Structure 1
Amino acid sequence: MHHMSADMKACIDNCLGCYSECLSMAMNHCLELGGEHTKPAHFKLMMACAEICRTSAHFMLIGSEHHKHVCRECAEICARCADDCERIGDMQSCVEACRRCAESCSRMAA
């Protein structure tokens, strides 16, 4: 297997953590609360965030040189998702997971 930096390992963990957090929060917390939490723009953003996080982790795990492009996109979507979850409120664990992921993906994209 290719050598993996500590930064990349941390980024994979952050991506998988954010994937899990966004997906479970959307499917449980948001669906149960409804209202702002299930408006299409917000809900789609959470689904997009979960999927790009999973994809970023996958690209790094397989050692694809394209991970930088995917990580750049991931950082952008995570930052947007964090802001939207913060705006709606009562989603702090998601906000934190998204910010953590955005930060480590930005480093990977550099």
Structure 2
Amino acid sequence: MNHNHEHNNSPHKDLLHILAQCADECDHCFDMCLEDNRTDQLVQALRACRDCAKICRVTASFVASGSDFAKRMTELCADVCKKCADICENHKEEEQETMHCAKICRACEEACRKYQGVNA
């Protein structure tokens, strides 16, 4: 058995997991929202989910590689997650999808802020 310490044994595996989960959920919410009639609020939700999925994936790569910029990326990611959660919570037309997305975004925001505290 291979005992080297890579991703699964990363000290940040919980953060990496929630970043991946948040990105996937935002992509899913984006896809569900595409099927709705376009309202200004829906367009905001689509853009927020797209941005959030992107920043979560990029942030995960910075954290996983131990980049000197990882802390700054998690700060930006937390802000984007917060905005996405705020928008998805206010979008009632596709409530089940958007509320689940908002919940994951809140958890991801919290994990990113926790990472900043630990690595201050």
Scaled by the length of structure 1, the TM-score of the pair is 0.87
1:62 maps to which of 58, 61, 65:
65
Residue 48 of structure 1 corresponds to which residue in structure 2?
51
Structure 1 unmatched runs, 5+: none
Q: Are residue 13 (structure 1) and residue 17 (structure 2) matched?
A: yes
Q: How many residues align?
A: 106
Distance, in Å, in 2 between the alignment partners of 1:65 and 1:15 is 18
Please tell me whether Structure 1 or Structure 2 has the larger radius of gyration of its CA atoms. Answer: 2
Give the fraction of aligned pairs with identical amino acids, expressed as a percent. Answer: 29
RMSD value over aligned CA atoms? 1.7
Structure 2 unmatched runs, 5+: none
Residue 36 of structure 2 corresponds to which residue in structure 1?
33
**Aligned partner letter, 1:75:** A
Distance, in Å, in 1 between the alignment partners of 2:37 and 2:85 is 18
Scaled by the length of structure 2, the TM-score of the pair is 0.80
Residue 92 of structure 1 corresponds to which residue in structure 2?
99
Distance, in Å, in 2 between the alignment partners of 1:34 and 1:17 is 26
Distance, in Å, in 2 between the alignment partners of 1:34 and 1:106 is 35
2:111 maps to which of 98, 104, 107:
104
Secondary structure of 1:33's counterpart equals coil
Distance, in Å, in 2 between the alignment partners of 1:72 and 1:30 is 27
- The answer on whether the counterparts of 2:45 and 2:91 sit within 8 Å (CA) in structure 1 is no
Distance, in Å, in 1 between the alignment partners of 2:88 and 2:42 is 11
2:10 maps to which of 4, 8, 14:
4
Moved over 2 A (4+): 1-4, 34-38
